[in-house]
């Protein structure tokens, strides 16, 4: 199994450009989420989804959009990139929200490093 | 806001020594987990302890939880160079489908 796959691994954008970070999992996980990791800040939740067609905001949703049209994919869209969005982005998934509550185990991708100039 | 905060932030030890790191949190939790992140990689789940548990073991890992002090500790015994990583605690506040992560604890094990 590939697990959680994120693309691209590295991206440089100019302020105002748009782009989509892709996340795909092949484990039939219902729960998927996006975090950003900044130095000294730990991981902060951007958006999450408990199943296809259902998304919700996390701690820092502004400037980001998500959709969940399939169980496998959970893309993160930056509509107008800003330097404050320079970060490492992680996609993470779990079997279900119930399993997440029971085991706490999130499966992480390898991250996408984004620089906004 | 960050639910968990690890302390100390950075730790450097010799191979074979034990490494201890702490995490505090602010609100009631259902469970607390610890994750490891090797440099440039994603996080990997290590262990979970529930709010009604006080101590849990997994291999060389020992986790304690003190809900009265809202704190947890992670002990890695007989450390190895491969244990060099950042360690994060994460809490399930419950009811909002989220895990809140702390800021991380960098551990360097010197061979």
pLDDT (tens digit, 9 = 90+) per residue, A35-77?
999 987 789 999 999 999 999 999 899 999 999 999 999 999 9
Relative to beta strand B105-110, strand B10-14 is parallel
Whether B6 has a pLDDT exceeding 90, the answer reads no
**In this predicted structure, what is the pLDDT of residue B99?**
83
| Burial per residue of B47-65, b for 16 or more beta-carbon CB atoms within 10 angstroms, e otherwise | bbbeeeeeeeeeeebbbbb
Spatial separation of the C-alpha atoms in residues A106 and B62, rounded to whole Å: 20
A90–B42 C-beta distance less than 8 A: yes
Give yes or no for a contact between B32 and B89, defined as CB atoms under 8 angstroms apart.
Answer: yes
Q: How many CB atoms lie within 10 A of CB B33?
A: 24
Percent of chain B with pLDDT over 70: 88
Quickly state the pLDDT bin for B95 (edges 50, 70, 90): low
The pLDDT, as a whole number, for residue B1 is 29
Chain B neighbors of A56, CB-CB under 8 A: 97
Which chain B residues have a beta carbon less than 8 Å from that of A111? 40-42
* Neighbouring C-beta atoms of residue A39, cutoff 10 Å: 9
Distance CA B64, CA B39 (A): 26
Within 8 A of B32 by CB-CB distance, chain A residues are 104
DSSP state of A101: H
């Amino acid at each position: 199994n590939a697990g959680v796959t994120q693309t691209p691994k590295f991206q440089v954008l100019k302020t105002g450009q748009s782009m989509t970070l892709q996340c795909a999992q092949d484990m039939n996980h219902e729960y998927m989420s996006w975090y950003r990791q900044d130095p000294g800040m730990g991981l902060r939740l951007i958006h999450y989804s408990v199943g296809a067609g259902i998304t919700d905001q996390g701690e820092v949703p502004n400037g980001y959009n998500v959709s969940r049209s399939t169980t496998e994919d959970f893309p993160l869209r930056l509509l107008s990139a800003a330097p404050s969005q320079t970060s490492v982005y992680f996609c993470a998934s779990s079997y279900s929200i119930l399993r997440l509550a029971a085991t706490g185990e999130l499966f992480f991708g390898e991250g996408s490093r984004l620089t906004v100039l | 806001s960050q639910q968990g905060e690890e302390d100390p932030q950075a730790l450097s030890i010799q191979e074979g020594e034990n490494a201890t790191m702490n995490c505090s949190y602010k609100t009631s939790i259902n469970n607390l987990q610890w994750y490891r992140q090797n440099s440039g990689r994603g996080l990997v789940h290590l262990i979970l302890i529930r709010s009604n548990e006080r101590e849990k073991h997994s291999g060389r890992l020992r986790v304690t939880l003190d809900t009265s002090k809202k704190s947890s500790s992670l002990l890695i015994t007989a450390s190895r160079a491969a244990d060099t990583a950042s360690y994060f605690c994460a809490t399930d506040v419950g009811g909002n489908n989220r895990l809140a992560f702390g800021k991380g604890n960098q551990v360097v094990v010197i061979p």
